[in-house]
Amino acid sequence: MTKKTKRKKIWRIVGLVIGIIALIWIIIFFFPVSKNTDLHKFDRERPLVIAHGGGNDLAPSNTLAAFTNAHELGVDMLEFDIHMTKDDYLVSIHDPTVDRTTDGQGRVNDMTLEEVQALDAGANFQDVNGEYSYRGKGVYIPTVDEIFSTINDSDMLYTIEIKDSNDPDLYQEMSVLLWKLIQEYGLEENVLIAAFDQSIIDMVLEASDGEALVSGGRDEITKFVVFHKLFLNGLYQQDVHALQIPTEDSNINLMDKKLIRGAHNRGMDVHYWTINDPETMQELIDLGVDGIMTDRPDLLMELIDK
């Protein structure tokens, strides 16, 4: 076989591979997957109003005071973060320590539930008028169990982030405990579980036998964005139900209608965080996003109701 013949053969193989890739891309791009029925409760025909921490600017973050206030406002979804106490209770708090949001000190993983709940979780909160309006009012750090039982609304949606600031050896146990609580309250179709660390998402899927609704971790989001920006989104295959992303990351604009359409073509919802100004809220509404996470759910609801 001559060198010229060999080169022709190689180029035929290369052309065939490129052709197959292009065909797969075209099929996926122009024939998107069917709508994800797992998220049927999330379809409100408008962006979901997601109260970040229950509405961090309106009441003490991650507390029953915030969650009940957001529920009364009529939000679609409550977002909160969880850590685990030394005696294995899942509690709603953003930070790994109680220092910033309470009048105490210490790591949540090293404290008992009794110690955590003895603290004033409204001590450091300042409302929109700069007042310490919840200080000394009995606000405390709640358990996930208490949140579900207090809200007690079959239409309420939740996005719960397992924080990677927990001790890594607790991730698996937290995933199992959270899934058991979700099942106990019959909220399998209402709760979207999130984590920045994709390995936590994998543990949640393992603990739930693949039944949990999950949002992509940072690695999954990066993979999706890179594929999209390189026009290879047709080759992207996901194992998650939603992407929760900022409007920009590493100087890359993520407020991109094509990116949103690409996610929808793969059967995923797209939620943006954390949006507190009405102008950006309106831009996202106009782009057709599925959810907007905000510290000011009252402002977002006013826009949507217009």
Q: Which residue has the tokens 């004033």?
A: 120
pLDDT tens profile 120-179: 999 999 999 999 999 999 999 999 999 999 999 999 999 999 999 999 999 999 999 999
Would you call 97 helix, strand, or coil by DSSP?
A: strand
The domain locations on the chain are 1-31, 37-305
The active-site residue out of 52, 83, 228, 241 is: 52
Q: What is the pLDDT of residue 217?
A: 92
- On the question of pLDDT at 29 being above 60, the answer is no
Q: What is the pLDDT of residue 30?
A: 53
Output the six-digit token pair for 108: 């949540």
Instruction: Say which residue, 227 or 150, is predicted with more confidence.
Output: 150
H-state helical runs in 98-238:
113-117, 144-151, 171-184, 198-207, 218-229
Comparing CA positions, the residue from 174, 162, 155, 146 lying closest to residue 67 is 146
Is 0.95 topped by the overall pTM? no
Task: Count CB neighbours of 98 within 10 A.
Answer: 22
**Mean of pLDDT values over 37-55:** 90
**How open is the CA angle 265-267-273, to the nearest 5 degrees?**
95
Comparing CA positions, the residue from 298, 297, 303, 293 lying closest to residue 81 is 293
52 is a catalytic site residue:
yes
Q: Would you report the helix, strand and coil content of the chain in percent, each value rounded to 5?
A: 40, 15, 40
The model's confidence at residue 21, banded by pLDDT at 50, 70 and 90, is: low
Which class does domain 37-305 fall in? alpha beta
**Mean of pLDDT values over 201-222:** 94
Output the six-digit token pair for 89: 């209770």
Q: Which residue has the tokens 């991650």?
A: 62
The model's confidence at residue 45, banded by pLDDT at 50, 70 and 90, is: confident
Instruction: For residue 79, give the amino acid letter.
Output: E
The active-site residue out of 71, 83, 94, 241 is: 94
